Amino acid sequence: MSEARIYYQEDCNMSLLEGKKIAVIGYGSQGHAHALNLKDSGMDVVVGLYEGSRSADKARAQGLAVLPVGEAVAAADVVMVLIPDEKQAACYRKDIEPNLRSGSMLMFAHGFNIHFGLIRPAADIDVAMIAPKAPGHTVRSEYQAGKGTPMLVAVQQDATGKALEKALAYGAAMGGARAGLLETTFRTETETDLFGEQAVLCGGVCALMQAGFETLTEAGYDPRNAYFECIHEMKLIVDLIYQSGFAGMRYSISNTAEYGDYVTGPKIVTEETKKTMKKILSDIQDGSFAREFLLEMSEAGGQVHFKAMRKLHAEHELEKVGEQIRKLYSWNKEEDKLINN
């Protein structure tokens, strides 16, 4: 397998998007970052929202034009879909597909709906992806700082022969080419993204931290100590890894911690754990997870199990302890300001 290419500023020609209108569908975490970064890069941007969306006034206040989804698509040469995965197929059938012009480009930040066949664009439409590897607020703040976040770029369908070049131009306008645009495929992005979220970043890490917290509190230790040691300090370690990899992190911690890392890690993540990870990956690859997720999110499923799990986890003792701990820090007030604004 050949090594995937990484594209930078010099590989991207933003002039390919000059005179073209870009419709950003949705104005959530990623939607606001895409729309504002593109606007600040000189692109002609319109935000497409459903009638009555609470985000409309916010987008307008930030200098963006807002139209109903169908009208935004009809006016656009490039359409970036940034609404939740479970809502994309219905929105596509109702408002996007009837208004897409031949030769236009349909874009996504996650390959879920294209890879699993929930959205099947006509053959005369370019289909591409720019997937930032950061939350929307980070994509925005890094751009504003003159930097960028790494992004993935992929082309599923090249109807015009210019799909990759236009996707790269979009990625550059987002600030992604300042850090690097890694070429991939819709399948690879979808499967690795879902696996990473479930087995490591969200499911794996949260379950590990919770199990550590419970082990200490059940042994009689103060929950605040347990929170500091198993949850609060996770950011400190992850930041070190983010900056300089595992080796850099191990250089920065004590010899005691490093030795414990080597001898205890394999006792926690065992061969049995890896077998479970392989089953998780298999369920993602064969569509089992996608079917289960979409059924749960459907009108028939009613999100009953999803909402029950959310409520159960929100009521865990670690959430109450964490709220107390976070009040000790001045940055908590600054974070509240960011969230509320």
Supply the Cα-derived Rg of the chain in whole angstroms.
22
Per DSSP, what are the bridge partners of residue 183? Answer: 153
**Alpha-carbon 297 to chain mean position:** 19
Q: 6: part of which helix (H) or strand (E)?
A: strand 6-7
Active site amino acids: 110
Q: Are 136 and 32 in contact (CB under 8 A)?
A: yes
Do residues 130 and 171 lie in contact, with contact meaning Cβ atoms separated by under 8 Å? yes
d(CA 29, CA 35): 11
With the C-alpha atoms ordered 267, 272, 273, 275, is the resulting torsion angle positive or negative?
positive
Q: C-alpha distances in angstroms, 80 versus 4, 70, 77, 167, 244? A: 24, 13, 10, 11, 33
The two structure tokens encoding residue 107: 């874009």
Q: Are residues 8 and 183 in contact, defined by beta-carbon separation less than 8 angstroms?
A: no
Q: What tokens does 153 get?
A: 């770029």
Q: Are 82 and 170 in contact (CB under 8 A)?
A: no
Q: Closest Cα partner for 119 from 95, 97, 138, 142?
A: 97
